[in-house]
Amino acid sequence: MFQFKLPDPGEGLTEAEITQWLVSEGDEVRVNDVLVEIETAKSLVELPSPVSGTVRRLLVAVGDSVDVGAPIIEIDDGEPETEPEAQNLVGSGPLPEPTNRRRPAAAPVAEAPGPITTAVGKVLAKPLVRRLARDLGVKLASVHPTGPNGTVSKEDVEAAAGIAHAAADDVLGHTERIHGVRKATALNVAASVAKHVHVTEFNTIDITATKDLVARLKTRREFKDLHVSPLLLHAKAVCLALARHPELNATWDGEAGQIVYHDDVNLGIAAATPRGLLVPVIKGADKMNLVELCRAINELVVTAREGRLMPADYSGGTFSITNVGVFGIDTGTPIINGDESAILAMGAIKRRPWVVGSGDDEQIVPRWVTTLAVSFDHQLIDGEQGSLFLDDVSTVLSEPELALLF
Amino acid sequence: MSVVQSPAETNQTTKTLTLAKALNAGLRAALSADDKVLLYGEDIGSLGGVFRVTEKLQAQFGPDRVLDSPLAEAGLIGTAIGMAQRGYRPVVELQFDGFVFPGFDQITQQLAKMRFRSHGRVQLPVVVRFPYGGGIGSIENHSESVEAYFAHTPGLTVVTPSNPNDGYWMIQQAIASPDPVIFLEPKRRYHEKGVVQLDAPARGLHEASVVRAGSDVTLICWGPMVRTCLDAAAAAEKEGRSVEVVDVRSLQPLDFETIARSVEHTSRAIIVHEAQRNYGPGAELAARLQEQLFYVMESPVLRVTGYDTPYPPSKLEADWLPNLDRVLAAVDQSMGY
């Protein structure tokens, strides 16, 4: 015996009126034959039979209002009587449950959060957003809140940190999801700008002697299988100069209230890789002789170009070099990498007129000339130390033999 | 008992059963597998229990293994402790959730502590099973959700199946457990049908289960509320929201890893339980979520629960119990942050 219960017509309706029976007791019905017409508050609906069999009993009369879930007709479908299991000895049986939302009825959405009141001047933001602001070095109080109930949203913080979000709707052109190295780079540079007080100094030098030295080194047996470039001597010059100016090989830890001076020079070399900008690190570069340093740089370049760098390869740096000269550019104002305190930018090495000699011997001759730029964190490095460091690097590159003095 | 056997009379691999029948089959399998398994409780023998969970078990296994007990819950638990000490695996049925309290002292002060007191020498493989929760048109003292009392008590494990397959397997796993298990049966779901896998259990007794995958918000629930949450998730899908549902299954020990993995994924969590809110099980879950996932959450952990009153008369229970509308209102609220 099958009992057909009034199905939930949806739309939050809980009852319906029987307007017309289309079968009588004793009729044979098949699946999908229309049994009854009901009227809800919204419409007239015909209900089909879910089973085949003989109509035994109509349980409600035309004109009756029936609750959803109440039985309205019994059809003998050949199945045994409803299993006795539903007959609890206690209670009236399981509560019917709605499967559709009765919008206004039970729980108005007024439970949604109202305006938030809090101590005067306290910025409202989720923990997630507070953490992001801290990581990006953004002061929450300085951010214009556009989130719900006057809260600072993730997007507000990112905007304050200079991370642009293109609104997809307004864009002419195409968009690209921010992810991977691009995203990491954006977060790193934004955090660096927020964390360090950047000062950049420039020095234009005659680097002819270094060019000559590179040419001589290339002919030596030690460098037979290696690629020798001015970058090698820049790296060496940096290591030598850092030994005399340890504050440029240090980390400003404002939270702990201390400056950490690093024993080793872990030299980062910014590299344009297929994955984007990465700064692989040569660990202990200052402990290496020139051949070892050259090999390390060569290996790094190969690994980076092949996109095989592992996170360990680009973490733990203490000073970085970026080479904008390879693009033919004179110089730039590099951004300090991570927790480091200074960075050197190599410019292009070009033939330029250069004044040599003095007095009567003074003349203009063509020389190999380049501009060095060093950005440093003014929080722990004064103009004096930054300048002396840049001067030392310049000295080694313009007169390499003076490295003997270091 | 190391191997749990399927009922001998069936060699199919699946069967559609109600939760009550699945529990009955699970109990039958446990009784068949191990002579030391005993069932007793009020009216469980010839009557087969108020909800027929033990129907025909006395006829099959005899009155020495399936016993009708006096109406005395403290004595039921106390004798089970003694028999467990002598090598039996007693499975005690309490007729209703509200009837557990005469046995509360025996459960929380004796059953829970014996292993601790004996420095691990005495283990008590006792299962205390009873129907819990409302939604059957009954009254207070017959509709309570008492899981927090026991999950709060060290020395007890607390599990609750939400569907026939879990009912069939979890009762056997609980009986096989070497330590006390409070086995809570959602009485409003006793007559809901589901497919039971007869070959092997899908997961261990104390593992949570993601019963519906989604990406916007996680509903954390157990026992009777799993069906409600699944219905709510299906309704939410029509509104364009992707709701994940985690069936906790074991309240003690808690498989927090599975819950946390889900919430890490959705960043929003709503705990749904029938029990009253104040100091209820949802409070513990919410506290753990904020401790461990503070920087993951997009919205505060919300709770949809029974109200802080005694269980109401049956005319009011539809409004008292968490339902689809209240769950979806919480989903709206969570997504509003």
Which of A181 and B43 is assigned the larger pLDDT? B43
Q: What is the pLDDT of residue B242?
A: 97
Best mutation target among B227, B243, B272, B324 (most A Cβ atoms within 10 Å) is B324
Closest CA to A144 of A125, A163, A127: A125
Report d(CA A382, CA A380) in Å as an integer: 7
Q: Report ipTM (2 d.p.).
A: 0.72
Task: Provide the H-helix boundaries in B103-224.
Answer: 104-105, 114-117, 147-151, 164-176
Q: What is the pLDDT of residue A89?
A: 76
A374 close to A336: Cβ distance less than 8 angstroms: no
Q: What is the mean pLDDT of residues B265-270?
A: 96
A22 in helix, strand or coil?
coil
Which of A95, A100, A131 lies at the smallest CB-CB distance from B235? Answer: A100
pLDDT band, residue B33 (cuts 50/70/90): very high
Report d(CA A250, CA A258) in Å as an integer: 10
B102 and B163 in a common domain: yes
Structure tokens that stand for B201 in this block: 């259990």
Q: What angle do CA A226, A228, A232 make, to 5 degrees?
A: 120
B166 and B254 in a common domain: no
Report d(CA B15, CA B22) in Å as an integer: 9
Closest CA to B49 of A85, A92, A95: A85
Which of B20, B191, B337 lies at the smallest CB-CB distance from A148? Answer: B337
The answer to whether B138 contacts A91, with C-beta atoms less than 8 Å apart, is yes
Q: What is the pLDDT of residue A42?
A: 67
Q: What is the pLDDT of residue A107?
A: 47
Identity of residue A373: A
Which of B26 and A65 is assigned the larger pLDDT? B26
Q: Has residue B62 been placed in a domain?
A: yes
Final residue in a domain of this structure, among B141, B172, B197:
B197
B189 and B143 in a common domain: yes
Report d(CA A272, CA A269) in Å as an integer: 10
Q: Has residue B244 been placed in a domain?
A: yes
Q: What is the pLDDT of residue A113?
A: 47
- Other CB atoms closer than 10 Å to residue B185's CB: what's the count? 25
Q: In chain B, what percentage of residues exceed pLDDT 70?
A: 96
Report d(CA A369, CA A331) in Å as an integer: 12
Residue A153 has pLDDT above 70, yes or no: yes
Final residue in a domain of this structure, among B197, B222, B247:
B197
Query: For residue B106, what is the domain's CATH number?
Result: 3.40.50.970
Which of B44 and A33 is assigned the larger pLDDT? B44
The answer to whether A98 contacts B51, with C-beta atoms less than 8 Å apart, is no
Nearest-CA distance A144 → chain B (Å): 17
Structure tokens that stand for A11 in this block: 């739309």
Q: What digits encode the pLDDT tens for the residues B157-198?
A: 999 999 999 999 999 999 999 999 999 999 999 999 999 999
B136 and B47 in a common domain: yes
Nearest-CA distance B123 → chain A (Å): 35
Q: What is the pLDDT of residue A310?
A: 78
Q: What digits encode the pLDDT tens for the residues A335-369?
A: 999 899 999 999 999 999 999 988 888 999 999 99
Q: What is the pLDDT of residue A345?
A: 96
B259 and B295 in a common domain: yes
Q: What is the pLDDT of residue A319?
A: 96
The answer to whether A92 contacts B296, with C-beta atoms less than 8 Å apart, is no
Q: What is the pLDDT of residue B7?
A: 45
Q: How many domains does chain B have?
A: 2
Question: What interhelical angle do B164-176 and B19-33 show, nearest 10?
Answer: 30
Report d(CA B43, CA B49) in Å as an integer: 5
The answer to whether A112 contacts B333, with C-beta atoms less than 8 Å apart, is yes
pLDDT band, residue B15 (cuts 50/70/90): very high
Contacts across the A-B interface (CB distance below 8 Å) = 104
Q: Has residue B7 been placed in a domain?
A: no
Closest CA to A75 of A20, A16, A15, A5: A5
Q: In chain B, what percentage of residues exceed pLDDT 90?
A: 94
Give bridge partners of residue B95 from the DSSP assignment.
none
The answer to whether B314 contacts A92, with C-beta atoms less than 8 Å apart, is yes
Which of A49 and B146 is assigned the larger pLDDT? B146
Least confident of A187-191, A301-305, B211-215: A301-305
Range of the domain at B80: 14-197
Q: DSSP character for A79?
A: P
Q: In chain A, what percentage of residues exceed pLDDT 90?
A: 43
A77 close to A50: Cβ distance less than 8 angstroms: no
Q: What is the pLDDT of residue B336?
A: 87
B164 and B297 in a common domain: no
Nearest-CA distance A126 → chain B (Å): 7
The answer to whether B137 contacts A92, with C-beta atoms less than 8 Å apart, is yes
Q: What is the pLDDT of residue A301?
A: 83
Q: What are phi and psi of B62, to 5 degrees?
A: 90, 160
Report d(CA A16, CA A278) in Å as an integer: 68
Best mutation target among B17, B136, B193, B317 (most A Cβ atoms within 10 Å) is B136
Find where tokens 């207070």 sit: B140
* A interface with B, Cβ–Cβ below 8 Å: 83-86, 88-95, 97-103, 105-109, 111-113, 126-128, 131, 148
Q: What is the pLDDT of residue B4?
A: 42
List residues of A with catalytic annotation: 378
Which of B52, B134, B323 lies at the smallest CB-CB distance from A85? Answer: B52
Q: What is the mean pLDDT of residues B61-75?
A: 96
Q: Has residue B2 been placed in a domain?
A: no
Which of B18, B317, B333 lies at the smallest CB-CB distance from A95? Answer: B317
Q: What digits encode the pLDDT tens for the residues A36-74?
A: 988 877 677 888 888 889 999 899 888 888 888 888 999
B165 and B81 in a common domain: yes
Q: What is the mean pLDDT of residues B53-62?
A: 96
The answer to whether B18 contacts A97, with C-beta atoms less than 8 Å apart, is no
Find the closest chain B residue to A107 by CA distance.
B326
What is the β-pairing status of strands B217-221 and B269-276?
Answer: parallel
Nearest-CA distance B195 → chain A (Å): 17
pLDDT band, residue A11 (cuts 50/70/90): low
Report d(CA B223, CA B188) in Å as an integer: 10
B147 and B34 in a common domain: yes
Q: What is the mean pLDDT of residues B195-210?
A: 96
Nearest-CA distance A91 → chain B (Å): 4
Q: Has residue B190 been placed in a domain?
A: yes
Q: What is the pLDDT of residue A66?
A: 86
B306 and B164 in a common domain: no
Written in H, E and C, the secondary structure of A288-310 is CCHHHHHHHHHHHHHHHHCCCCC
Residue-range domains of chain A with CATH: 2-88 (2.40.50.100), 127-176 (4.10.320.10), 197-405 (3.30.559.10)
Closest CA to A154 of A167, A170, A138: A138
Q: What is the mean pLDDT of residues A265-294?
A: 90
The answer, yes or no, to whether the previous bond of B253 is cis (omega within 30 of 0) is yes
Q: What is the pLDDT of residue A2?
A: 85
Query: For residue B294, what is the domain's CATH number?
Result: 3.40.50.920
Best mutation target among B295, B303, B327 (most A Cβ atoms within 10 Å) is B295
Which of A89, A105, A127 lies at the smallest CB-CB distance from B325? Answer: A105
Q: What is the pLDDT of residue A401?
A: 93
Residue B10 has pLDDT above 60, yes or no: no
In order of A46, B61, B92, the CA distances from B67 in angstroms are 53, 10, 10
Least confident of A7-16, A317-326, B254-263, B269-278: A7-16
Which of A83, A91, A97 lies at the smallest CB-CB distance from B323? Answer: A97
pLDDT averaged over chain A? Answer: 85
Residue B90 has pLDDT above 90, yes or no: yes
B46: left (phi over 0), alpha (psi -120 to 50) or beta: alpha
Closest CA to B187 of A89, A280, A385, A65: A89
Among residues B142, B191, B206, B273, the one annotated as catalytic is B142
Residue B203 has pLDDT above 60, yes or no: yes
pLDDT band, residue A105 (cuts 50/70/90): very low
Nearest-CA distance B270 → chain A (Å): 14
Residue A133 has pLDDT above 70, yes or no: yes
Least confident of A30-39, A260-269, B121-130, B255-264: A30-39
Question: What interhelical angle do A180-195 and A127-136 show, nearest 10?
Answer: 70
Identity of residue B280: G
Q: What digits encode the pLDDT tens for the residues A253-265?
A: 888 889 999 999 9
B283 and B259 in a common domain: yes
The answer to whether B323 contacts A92, with C-beta atoms less than 8 Å apart, is no
Structure tokens that stand for A232 in this block: 């090698």
The answer to whether B325 contacts A109, with C-beta atoms less than 8 Å apart, is no
Q: Has residue B204 been placed in a domain?
A: no
Q: Has residue B1 been placed in a domain?
A: no
A236 close to A221: Cβ distance less than 8 angstroms: no
Find where tokens 């019994």 sit: A74
The answer to whether B228 contacts A128, with C-beta atoms less than 8 Å apart, is no
B87 and B45 in a common domain: yes
Q: Has residue B129 been placed in a domain?
A: yes
Final residue in a domain of this structure, among B197, B224, B258:
B197
Give bridge partners of residue B128 from the DSSP assignment.
B92, B182
Q: In chain A, what percentage of residues exceed pLDDT 70?
A: 89
Q: What digits encode the pLDDT tens for the residues A200-212?
A: 999 999 999 999 9
B227 and B143 in a common domain: no
